[in-house]
Amino acid sequence: MAPDSLSITSAALADPTRRALLERLAQGEASVGELAGPFDMSLPAISQHLKVPETAGLMVRGCDAQWRPCQLTVGPRKDATDWLEHCRPFWEQSFDRLAEYLHRVQRKEKKHGRKK
């Protein structure tokens, strides 16, 4: 079974280095060399990291003479955001139930004189 676009996007966002690279691209386009600056990695290693979000459609690499600017794209991020928003009510209800449960437990402990 071929992975769907949301799975590919999630995989691209799963790595902290790739997320940091995409966060930098949110400030504007940059070359691979500029993106590599803050990292203790070789340019080929950064390029390998960039291939994953590029394959997912989260970014594109252009060609302007010798400069190869990278920039963010919108499509897959919007799909991921839409999916997360669809799940938000479930997560919020779950957190609300957890908060209520913890409040009840804390009241019981306080009532029975237990220390935290």
Contact 79, 9 (CB under 8 A): yes
Q: Where are the alpha helices (DSSP H) in the chain?
A: 5-13, 16-25, 32-36, 43-55, 75-111
- DSSP helix/strand/coil, 70: strand
Rounded average pLDDT over 24-51: 88
Query: In this predicted structure, which of 33-37, 63-67, 78-82, 104-108 has the lowest mean pLDDT?
Result: 63-67
The tokens for 64 are 């302007």
Please provide residue 78's backbone torsions phi and psi, each rounded to the nearest 5 degrees.
-65, -40
Reported pTM: 0.66
49/17 Cα distance (integer angstroms): 7
Contact 94, 108 (CB under 8 A): no
Q: Which of 67-71, 86-90, 95-99 tops mean pLDDT?
A: 95-99
The tokens for 102 are 């913890």
pLDDT exceeds cutoff 60 at 1: no
The tokens for 80 are 């991921």
- DSSP helix/strand/coil, 71: strand
Rounded average pLDDT over 48-60: 88
